[in-house]
Structure 1
Amino acid sequence: MKIYSVFLLLFIFYGGSTVDAQTNVKGDNGLSLSGSISDSTRNIRLEAASVALYRQGEDKVHSIALSSRTGRFMLEKLPPQTSFRLQVIHMGYEPFEREIIIVDSSINLGELYLTPRANELEAVEILSPVRMNGDTIEFNADAFHLDSNAVAGDLLTKLPGITIWGDNEITYNGKRINKLYVNGKDFFSTNANIALQNIPKNIIDNVQIFDTDRERRESKNANIVLKKGKDRGIFGKIGAGIGTNKQNELEAIANLFNSSNQLSVGGTKSNINKPLDDIDQLLNNTTFGGISLKVDYFSDLRKKGYHEDSAYGMMFNHNFRDKPSYQMGDHNELKIDLFRKSSNSLTERNINMIRSMSEGADNSSVTKESRHSDFNNFLGNVRYQFKNGQRTDLNISAKFEKRQVDNNRNTSTVGQLYDIETRESDLSREELDESILSLNADLRISSKLRSNWVKWYDHVYFKYDLLYNPSTSIVETDKSIQSSSADFDDRSFLRNSKFNGSIVNQDAYVKLERIFPQKMSGIVDIDIAQRVRLNHNSSDHVVRDSSELNESLTYDEIEYGIVSTSSLSLGRKFMIDELYMRYEKSIGFYSNFDVQVANDDVRSGYSDRNINRTNAFLLPSLRINYLNKVEQNFVKDLSLSWDISYHTPSIGLVAPVVDSINILNQTYGNRDLENSKNNNISLRYIYASFKPTGLHYDLGFHAKFLEDAFVPNISYRNDGRRELYFINDKNVQVNYVASANMRKAFKMSRESNFTAKLSNMGVFSKKGQVIDGDYDKLKSMSYHGKLDLLFNFSDFIKLGVYQQFDFFQQKSRLNADFKSTTSDSNLSFGLGLRKRAFLNTSISYLNVENNSTSDGVLLWNVSASYRALKKRNLEIKLSALDILNNNSSITVNSTSTYTMYETNNIIRRYVMVNLSYYPRFFYY
């Protein structure tokens, strides 16, 4: 906690530092060359002129800048006693060159005049390192000197204004790069690292930076343009590892691409708790370049149980346009993902549970559980995207998933209540076979301007979703219950249950956006929308006790549901001060009115479970927004909102199925439950600086007031049984949530930067429950905070530190207070030596404390790797995990009705040797 407090104070101190202070530090770390660029005939300042310095005798740029709107430029971090060649290039002007000698002081060249070209047709264009092409900035990749094996990420770190920070965020002159394209398209994934750490610098022609939206210029997009004829290649990884304690892993992936197609095929198999959830994850973790602060895609040592995982799949992307207009957002693309995963796991748990009771009676239960599971999953996705400029946006997707789960569970429990001891033993086998098919389509069409200069609407939006979910489950249970109570007969069950069910959900939605935009010029928004949701669930339950049919639990059930929602949205924006594309100060008022009608119809063969109910709700919401934005400087965004929502009690609360096999814990229904009502109030303030090392923070506060909440009514009987049903709480429940997220960047030099990120969230709530007829007031407080400090000292030295702190406290009128704190500290270090040898290490300490226990776990992981061959694509790696053999697992959880302490089996120390080959065949 002391470390966390120190880091927090440092962050607040440095977060308040001004940008001017950062500039002064820069000026003290080297010499500078400055001046202004003007037109020689009209004597006007020239914007976006390329100003480059070359060392004498070299053709690779040493330092580069673009002139500002006032024609100013400055080149910093220049070494003394060095001769340079200064080159200034601007479209439509003759190139300007001069020899410059930096001795021991900074130089101001004053005004530099460029001469307009006399004949544009006869002019020979000199390709500058950087130039403006309309609103797009283009960097010439060949102008920057890099190693022959450098990748795109190495190039971006050399470009002026572009910074890749320690948290992998990319900025250009302080503005975040939202999307990174390759030839106007995603490169295998939306994850920028796939392109940055795999594409060789040698096949890159230029890098383009442009606005994401002409109206909203708070962020940028980037596009890597490959050289003509070089837009095809093959790359990937083939690796194997063997370790102590019979640990092993295999992984392989091959990626092929050309101007229109991208194909990834790969898979993995391991028993070191290193699961794979999709091909995109494998692609991201097997890249060629980059140093990781996680010890390279290591095992999850905190995952509970032992797991043997295998997975494989393919991803295919086809773009129907070879050269899409990325600035207009054009898309015409088909994506197909197929993925198969299987897992075999063994988990062992020990659980100690203490329940909440009105008299504070001695009660506890101790459970030991062993579970062996087989899991098989197949996932298929097909997505089609079409966007034609600003006119039409179409997205169609289909997803199919099939899951098969087989669990064998052995559980024994000893419980104590009112001096009555009960013993339960449970041997069960569970099979699940489930399929999920979903279809989703949405279409947005922008209206054309009518000949009479009247538009009916700006956009019309259609959406349709379909879900089909058939499933079958079989549960075989052998259960026995013994009690020391003379009033309780020992029970034993041999139960066989089979369930067949299917769910069909449909959702249709249409919306007209900005109706009569010309006629309602003072109104920012008038929208109308209609949504209809249809639900159909059917199920068939068959239950046998031993060989006898259980009549009460054998039944068929059909549920129909329809929800119709009509919406009207109104909004108005008042401009306080504005200069187009320079600054804006405004305040907006927005409201929404939903009329919702819902009907549930349940027809069940189970006694008292037939329900037909209709509810109608008016759901208003209001929002006020204040915006203050200055281009190239900052944006301030303040919003205050309020809305109402309702919750209808589910059929499980109104009429649950009462199962005799759980005789010690019986749940009943309450048909008198009323709907609950939520009043929500939210306040949010966002500040973002556009300076390269600016401060960003996001502050939020949310309050929820819940009327007639569903709360448990629990009774404990003298024979050791527990009975439960839900009632409406006539006291208003409150819930307050406050959050603060901040980010501050520091740049020590072109190669070195530091990022500090702080996230905080606190929750305070008041709620109630009834235990043995007494109303129990519960007050709970929780806090989650994390501070990340990320250092990039150079391209080959990275350091990361994070401190996480979690706190939970619950106070009850009827029970003892519960308090739990968790502290998680981590230090990660990555080092590259001579571009071939790499060292990664991480040390973490997790400490969990509560009212009665305290447990600390210190984990130390290390990996060392060496890259061989000319292209550095053969790697040997030695890894040691949990070097101190100190790993353990403990979980503490507290709710309104119980407190639970749990320990699990977990993977321990092992050493592994890996050999990997990175095939790389690019056409250049």
Structure 2
Amino acid sequence: MKRLLSALILVMVAVQVYAQNAAVYGTVQSSSDNTALPGANVVLIKATDASKLATVSGPDGKFRFESVGTGQYTVEINYIGFEKYNRSIQVQGTALNLGQLALKDGSTSIKEVQIIGRAPLGEQKGDTTQFNAKAFKTAPDASAEELVTKMPGVTIQDGKVQAQGEDVKQVMIDGKRYTGEDVSSAMRNISADMVESVQVFDAPSDRAAFSGFDDGNRIKTLNFVTKQSKKQGYVGKVSAGYGTDERYMVGAAVNYFNNNQRITVTGLTNNINMFDFSVGETPGGSMRGRRGGFGRSTPSGITKTDNFGINYNDMWGKKVEVSANYNYNQREITNNRYTFRDYVNNDTTYVENSINRSKDDAHRLNFRLQYNINENNRLLITPSITLQQNNDLTTRFANTFAGDNTLTTSNNSTSADATSLSVNNNILYSHRFGDSGRILTANFSTSYGASDSDTYQLQDTRNLDNEERNVNKDQYFKQDQNNLSWSGNLDYSEKLGENSRLQLEYGISNQINDADRRTFDLMEDSGEYTGFNPSLSNTFESNYLSQSIGPTYQYRTDKVSMQVGARYQYATLDSESEFPVADPIKRNFSNILPSAEYEYKFSRSKNLRISLRTNTDVPSVSQLQEVLDISNPLQLKTGNPELDQAYQNRINIRYRNFSPETNRVFFAGLFGTITQNYIGNSVYTNGFVPVDLPEGYELQPGARFTRPVNLDGYWNVRSFVNYGQPLNFISSNFNMFGSVGFTRIPGEINGVINYANTTNFGGGLNISSNISEKVDFNISTNSNYNIVSNTTSGNPNNNYFTQNTSLRYNWIMWKGLVYRTEMSHQYNSGLSEGVDKSYLLWNMSIGKKVFKNQKGEVSISVNDLLKQNVSIERSISSDYVEDVQSTVLQRFFMLTFSYNINKFKSGAAPEEQDRRGGWEGRRN
């Protein structure tokens, strides 16, 4: 290892190039009011060979090029609504600050075009797709979430907003991260009329942004660039409603904007399954289409929620950017579930009816501080803390069957109280050695978690063939768990020439876990839980230490971007248990973790990206802890302290094309994962188990014993294609998408390997109106056909088909009279008997705008007009297919009053800092 490190250092020193390269930077702004112009396309054209470097200005209008060679250049800037900017410059080997580059307003020259034609949807800028918000008409009180779902390539799948086939996991406003856990809530707290443009891109991790080297941890991100006239003021909404069946809702949300400073305060109390409140709430609390119905899965259970949250973003001076989020949430859930499980390789089935009552109290605080010390030094600190309490009461009635014959019945009641604390922090520092191209990045993370729980369980299991095997237990479980982990990374990168760099990375991490589970039986003589049961107790400690080192080479031009690297990883896993027997185990792991990425830009609007990443996953404490879990007597489980780490390979291929001339969008992607040493399940039936069960416990007829094991052969491959374009003849936008996927999950059944194979074919289309602000509709349909097979002989195949067709329609009819309706039809075929096959969810409201500027509204609404709403979920495992039907909120009527708050000051100042990328300017 020392020789390898020395060789790498010598290589970097030997190939160092002292070429006369320099940074070129500046700020793009409007000449009329000096406001920043974010998202402007900036191009450097070399006079001698017409070669180009391109980037995009940040939310503050700033742009930067690194490593610009000596010579004569032309700066060319394009921005929608402004005249093209051109300027000749001379680069002479030192940093060149171009200052403020003012663009003239082009509205006068394009005014006629704007009246006659259609506003352009947007454009593709390298890996960033930028949409023009003016091209998408929404209702006056629409949220940014409703705006983006009209845009090509943006869909709603399984209750989540997806862009280009991937879940959106981060929301930014003017380039600053919205600190919080729920991206949908962030989008609903921005009104659509505030948005100038929407950028869709894969944001690098903080570490990659600081170092300039991609670590593969990209986050699908939406950045909302707000209008200059909406940067000072406030917008909000308050609503209160009461309905039949004592349903109620009171909520408020207020957003305050003062250029760099943004404060959002929300509050909510309700019992109609609303989890948060935002500016984008639809008047009439029953219109919950975005959480259930309108292309989304229906939340299960009846939920009462009390919620308070505050989000804060600001610049402290010119160098410090801060954001913070605090949220308190109290949630009470009542849920009755029916479960039907069809097992592989035998004729047994499992049927369960359960009643669950739970209450959660949670405090969450996230903080982010970025200090731009100077041009060469940056510091980022991101702490977070979560405190949570949970009270849970579950009554379970379960049966196993062989055909029509009942084998075993179980009545099980569990009461649990748990408290958990989680504290995390990350410190990231980056130093750039002037204009030399050298960058040093250091990262240190810590995480601490502690939890304790008290569980009381009453079990009555009856064997219908042999009463002597009946089990009746009354027990108390005490479990304490502490987790401490830390990690550090040191990255050093060196410029090798005008277009290439080399980075050397060293990383170290340590995970320490301590879990103590004690079981006590109820003693009849004293009536107390004092009978210690060592066979169901376990004290477990584990220590996982990992180190890695390796180089990464990067090559970039205006057309091609390439990156290849490899890390050598050495890890040790030490574990030791005290109960039920003392058993120390120590294992070592050695792995080579290669990575590669290639991107080719055919033009400004077309690009292809291919990436390959590898990583390892260490087993969790629950997977390692060998203690019998009898929470469900017919589904016994235990851990396996001999588990090895899993080795995962991921490949992603993406192609994007956005034609600004035709406003057509095309996206295609292929995403694949292959895992060796996959942590799957080894299942045993028919009374046999591979370990000794405690006295008084045995596998009942039809019951299962599950233990995690390492297995090879896990596959998950998915392709996604999306095409969108405007339909001018009906003033609407059309979006069509399709997907093909294959998943293979390995498992073991009675010692025989089984592969559960699922092939999925999906497709759908969406038409969203772009007619006017008074008429807004969205029609979508999405179908999925799943072919399910198992390799074990004699097993059942469970093919199934699902289709969801939705309609959302808003109509401002006459003098502030508003009609809203949402319809969602769910069709299911191939599910288990006893599970509803299809349903139609229909929500409706009619309201009247009141007060000056129609800021108020009184509405009457109905949720689930036809009283057909259900919640159905299907899951595929290596040894069974399971269908679950849960309690849902059904029909009720509600009278609601809502009031909109909206006041802005025009002429706001521009944003100060860009947080999208690192020091390496984007080349598009």
**Same fold judged by TM-score > 0.5?**
yes
Aligned twin of 1:266: 266
Cα separation, 2, equivalents of 1:522 and 1:795: 51
The 1:248–1:507 alpha-carbon spacing in structure 2 relative to 1, beyond 3 Å, is same
The 1:296–1:469 alpha-carbon spacing in structure 2 relative to 1, beyond 3 Å, is closer
Asked if the contact 2:840/2:869 (under 8 Å) is kept, the reply is yes
Is 1:860 aligned with 2:842? yes
Cα separation, 1, equivalents of 2:362 and 2:639: 36
Letter in 2 for 1:414: N
Gaps of 5+ in 2: 1-28, 32-40, 45-79, 86-99, 112-118, 123-130, 139-145, 155-162, 205-211, 213-220, 523-528, 689-699, 907-924
Cα separation, 2, equivalents of 1:923 and 1:709: 57
Asked if the contact 1:137/1:208 (under 8 Å) is kept, the reply is no
Asked if the contact 1:713/1:725 (under 8 Å) is kept, the reply is yes
Instruction: Select which of 532, 548, 557 maps to 1:565.
Output: 548
SS of aligned partner of 1:794: coil
Aligned twin of 1:882: 864
Offset, 1:430: 0.8
Aligned twin of 1:702: 672
Offset, 1:267: 0.5
Asked if the contact 1:267/1:311 (under 8 Å) is kept, the reply is yes
- Higher RCO (Cα < 8 Å, 6 or more apart): 2
Offset, 1:888: 2.4
Aligned twin of 2:799: 819
Offset, 1:897: 1.5
**Aligned pairs for 1:770-789 within 5 A:** 770-771=749-750, 773-789=751-767
Instruction: Select which of 401, 418, 424 maps to 1:438.
Output: 424
Letter in 1 for 2:783: F
Aligned twin of 1:344: 332
Offset, 1:809: 2.5
Q: Percent identity between the aligned chains?
A: 15
Cα separation, 1, equivalents of 2:851 and 2:110: 25
Is 1:415 aligned with 2:415? no
Offset, 1:337: 1.9
Offset, 1:351: 2.0
Asked if the contact 1:285/1:296 (under 8 Å) is kept, the reply is no
Letter in 2 for 1:528: L
Is 1:368 aligned with 2:340? no
Cα separation, 1, equivalents of 2:800 and 2:293: 31
Offset, 1:378: 1.0
Letter in 2 for 1:405: N
Cα separation, 1, equivalents of 2:884 and 2:173: 49
Asked if the contact 1:499/1:540 (under 8 Å) is kept, the reply is yes
Asked if the contact 2:428/2:443 (under 8 Å) is kept, the reply is yes
Aligned twin of 1:908: 890
Cα separation, 2, equivalents of 1:769 and 1:618: 26
Asked if the contact 1:407/1:429 (under 8 Å) is kept, the reply is yes
**Aligned pairs for 1:295-310 within 5 A:** 302-310=298-306
Specify the structure having the higher radius of gyration (Cα): 1
RMSD between aligned alpha carbons? 4.8
**More deviation, 435-444/167-176:** 167-176
The 1:389–1:292 alpha-carbon spacing in structure 2 relative to 1, beyond 3 Å, is farther
SS of aligned partner of 2:839: strand
Cα separation, 2, equivalents of 1:686 and 1:825: 27
Deviation by residue 1:32-51 (Cα, 9 ceiling, x = unmatched): xxxxxxxxxxxxxxxx999x
Cα separation, 2, equivalents of 1:715 and 1:586: 56
Instruction: Select which of 526, 531, 542 maps to 2:507.
Output: 531
The 1:275–1:368 alpha-carbon spacing in structure 2 relative to 1, beyond 3 Å, is same
Asked if the contact 2:171/2:222 (under 8 Å) is kept, the reply is no
Aligned twin of 1:18: none
Offset, 1:144: 12
Aligned twin of 1:123: none
Instruction: Select which of 714, 727, 733 maps to 2:684.
Output: 714
Aligned twin of 1:636: 607
Aligned twin of 2:450: 470
Offset, 1:846: 0.3
Asked if the contact 2:191/2:279 (under 8 Å) is kept, the reply is no
Aligned twin of 1:334: 322
Letter in 2 for 1:458: R
The 1:185–1:603 alpha-carbon spacing in structure 2 relative to 1, beyond 3 Å, is closer
**Aligned pairs for 1:620-769 within 5 A:** 620-623=593-596, 625-631=598-604, 634-639=605-610, 641=612, 645=615, 656-659=626-629, 664-667=634-637, 677-678=647-648, 682-691=652-661, 693-700=663-670, 702=672, 704=674, 706=676, 710=680, 712-717=682-687, 720=701, 722-725=704-707, 729=711, 733=713, 735=715, 737-746=717-726, 748=728, 752-765=731-744, 767=746, 769=748
Deviation by residue 1:612-667 (Cα, 9 ceiling, x = unmatched): 42423232425362513324xx22314264x5555666676666213577665545
Offset, 1:768: 5.2
Gaps of 5+ in 1: 1-47, 51-65, 70-127, 146-152, 325-330, 450-454, 576-583
**Aligned pairs for 1:116-515 within 5 A:** 130=82, 137=103, 162-164=134-136, 168-169=147-148, 196-197=191-192, 226=228, 232-259=232-259, 261-276=261-276, 282-285=278-281, 302-321=298-317, 332-357=320-345, 360-361=346-347, 363-387=348-372, 391-417=376-402, 421-449=407-435, 455=436, 457-486=437-466, 488-513=468-493, 515=494
SS of aligned partner of 2:469: coil
Cα separation, 2, equivalents of 1:255 and 1:161: 20
Offset, 1:880: 1.7
Offset, 1:830: 2.0
Letter in 1 for 2:602: K
The 1:298–1:247 alpha-carbon spacing in structure 2 relative to 1, beyond 3 Å, is farther
The 1:392–1:841 alpha-carbon spacing in structure 2 relative to 1, beyond 3 Å, is farther
Asked if the contact 1:295/1:842 (under 8 Å) is kept, the reply is no
Asked if the contact 1:763/1:783 (under 8 Å) is kept, the reply is no
Asked if the contact 1:271/1:309 (under 8 Å) is kept, the reply is yes
**More deviation, 497-506/901-910:** 901-910
The 1:824–1:708 alpha-carbon spacing in structure 2 relative to 1, beyond 3 Å, is closer
Letter in 2 for 1:818: N
Asked if the contact 1:262/1:317 (under 8 Å) is kept, the reply is yes
The 1:368–1:379 alpha-carbon spacing in structure 2 relative to 1, beyond 3 Å, is same
Asked if the contact 2:294/2:806 (under 8 Å) is kept, the reply is no
Cα separation, 2, equivalents of 1:880 and 1:186: 36
Cα separation, 1, equivalents of 2:815 and 2:371: 42
Aligned twin of 2:159: none
**Aligned pairs for 1:542-557 within 5 A:** 542-546=518-522, 547=529, 548-557=531-540
Deviation by residue 1:85-119 (Cα, 9 ceiling, x = unmatched): xxxxxxxxxxxxxxxxxxxxxxxxxxxxxxxxxxx
SS of aligned partner of 2:535: helix
Is 1:598 aligned with 2:571? yes
How many residues were matched structurally?
A: 739
Offset, 1:795: 2.6
Offset, 1:407: 0.7
Aligned twin of 1:803: 781
Offset, 1:852: 5.0
Asked if the contact 1:788/1:801 (under 8 Å) is kept, the reply is yes
SS of aligned partner of 2:852: coil
Asked if the contact 1:369/1:412 (under 8 Å) is kept, the reply is yes
Instruction: Select which of 816, 819, 841 maps to 2:821.
Output: 841
Offset, 1:571: 3.6
Letter in 2 for 1:164: F
Offset, 1:240: 0.6
Deviation by residue 1:843-866 (Cα, 9 ceiling, x = unmatched): 110011116546110111112222
Aligned twin of 2:20: none
Offset, 1:764: 4.4
Cα separation, 2, equivalents of 1:687 and 1:775: 44
Asked if the contact 2:152/2:724 (under 8 Å) is kept, the reply is no
